[in-house]
Structure 1
Amino acid sequence: MVNNISAGADSGTDAEVLSFTLGKEEYGISIQKVQEIRGYDTVTRIANAPEYVKGVINLRGIIVPVVDMRIKFNLGTPTYDEFTVVVILNIGHRVIGMVVDSVSDVVTLGAEQIKPAPDMGSVVDTDFLLGLGTIGDRMLILLDIDRFMSSDEIGLISKMAA
C-alpha cells in the first residue's frame, strides 16, 4: 500500500498534510484520508471496548467508531474543550473518527522536507511513522494512518462498527 505522504517523498512531488496536536507534539497525516473535521461531541460508549475507543457517533446515518489518540498514545488524562476535534477519516472504505487536541492547518511538504524517522523509543510505534516533516522550526511526526488504524489492535474497530 502506498501512502500519499511517502509517495510524495519518493517521487519528488509535494504532499499535503493535515497537522494536528496531541499533547505538546505536532503530528501530520495525509489530507487525502480526511473526510471532515468536527467539534468534539458526546459519543455513545460501547461495552467492553478498549479505553482508547471513546465509543461511536451517528454521522448522517453512518455509525462511526471514535478513537481518542491521546489515550491510545498514553499522553495523560485527556481534557475536552473548545479546541478538541474529531477528524473523520476515510480509510479502506471505512469511516473512523480520531479525537485530537486541536487541528493546526494543512501544509504542503516537499520531498526535501520529509526525513526518515529515527529508530528510538517513542510514544508511537515506529512501524506507524512515515518520517518527520520539517517546516521552518516546526517538526511534524508523520503518521501512516492507514497502517495504524488497520493494525491488529486498532483493527478491532471495524468489527465493532460492522
Structure 2
Amino acid sequence: MSAGTLAAAIAAPGADAGVVLAEQYSTFWVGELFFGIGVAEVQEVLRHQPMTPVPRADEAVRGLINLRGQIVTAVDLRVRLGLPPRADDQLPMNVIVRSRGEVVSLLVDDIGDVIDTAGIAPQPVPSTMPAKLQYVVRGVRPLPESILLILDADRALEVSGPSGG
C-alpha cells in the first residue's frame, strides 16, 4: 500500500473544514491516554535516545537527539499536556513525526501498534475534555477496548511559551 492509500481520508463530522482523518494510525500511550497519529505523518518509532538539553527552551522541549546525523528536537507530550511527570525509572519512547517540514520527536510513555479504523466513524472531540487536550486532538475513534484520540502533531508541537501554546 502506498502512503496515499494508507492516509485514505474521511472528513470528521463536526471537524473544521479541511481537517481530514486518516484510517490507519500509529498508536501510543501518554499516561492513561491512548493516542494515534496517521501513519503518513510518522517517520519511525524508537526506544529511548540520549538527549542533549537545550538551555532556556520551553519546559516541554526535553532536548535534542541525534537521529543518524540529523538533529531532532524532542518534545515531551506529558509536559505539553500538563500531565504529571514520568516515574524516574520510566524512560520515554520516541515517535518521530514530520510536522511543518521538520522532523521532530514526540516523547511518549509506551508504543502501541498500527491499527486500521476503516469502518469506525470518527467522532468530534468531547467538549468535556481539558482545554489543552481539546486543542491537540482532532477527533476520536471509539474502539471496542478503548477510545483512540487522534493527535494533531502540528498543534502538539506548538511550545511557544511556558504554557505550551
TM-score, normalized by the shorter chain, greater than 0.5 = yes
Contact 1:14 1:111 in 2 (8 A): no
1:116: which partner in 2? Answer: 124
Contact 2:58 2:159 in 1 (8 A): no
1:73: which partner in 2? Answer: 81
> Structure 1 counterpart of 2:125, which letter?
A
2:17: which partner in 1? Answer: none
Question: Number of residues paired by the alignment?
Answer: 150
Q: Which ranges in structure 1 are unaligned for 5 or more consecutive residues?
A: 155-162
Pair 1:147 & 2:141 matched? no
Contact 1:128 1:147 in 2 (8 A): yes
Q: Judge which range, 114-123 or 91-100, deviates more.
A: 114-123
> Structure 1 counterpart of 2:160, which letter?
E
Q: Distance in 1 between matches of 2:75 and 2:9?
A: 26
2:58: which partner in 1? Answer: 50
Q: Distance in 2 between matches of 1:77 and 1:152?
A: 17
Q: Distance in 2 between matches of 1:43 and 1:23?
A: 21
Q: Distance in 2 between matches of 1:5 and 1:117?
A: 20
Pair 1:38 & 2:38 matched? no
The alpha carbon displacement at 1:138 in A equals 1.2
Over 3 Å counting, the alpha-carbon distance change for 1:70 and 1:127 in structure 2 is: closer
Over 3 Å counting, the alpha-carbon distance change for 1:78 and 1:64 in structure 2 is: same
What is the TM-score when the length of structure 2 is the normalising length? 0.78
Equivalent position to 2:110, from 95, 102, 113: 102
Equivalent position to 2:24, from 16, 25, 35: 16
Q: Distance in 1 between matches of 2:40 and 2:72?
A: 18
The alpha carbon displacement at 1:117 in A equals 0.9
2:146: which partner in 1? Answer: 138
The alpha carbon displacement at 1:123 in A equals 5.8
- The percentage of aligned residue pairs carrying the same residue is 28
1:7: which partner in 2? Answer: 9
Q: Distance in 2 between matches of 1:109 and 1:9?
A: 13
Q: Which ranges in structure 2 are unaligned for 5 or more consecutive residues?
A: 1-5, 13-20
Secondary structure of 2:132's aligned partner = coil
User: C-alpha offsets along residues 75-123 of structure 1, whole Å, 9 cap, x if unaligned?
Assistant: 1122365773101111222000110000111111125331111122416
After TM superposition, which residue ranges in structure 1, 4 or more long, deviate above 4 angstroms?
80-83
Q: Distance in 1 between matches of 2:134 and 2:7?
A: 15
Q: Distance in 2 between matches of 1:118 and 1:82?
A: 30
> Structure 2 counterpart of 1:101, which letter?
D
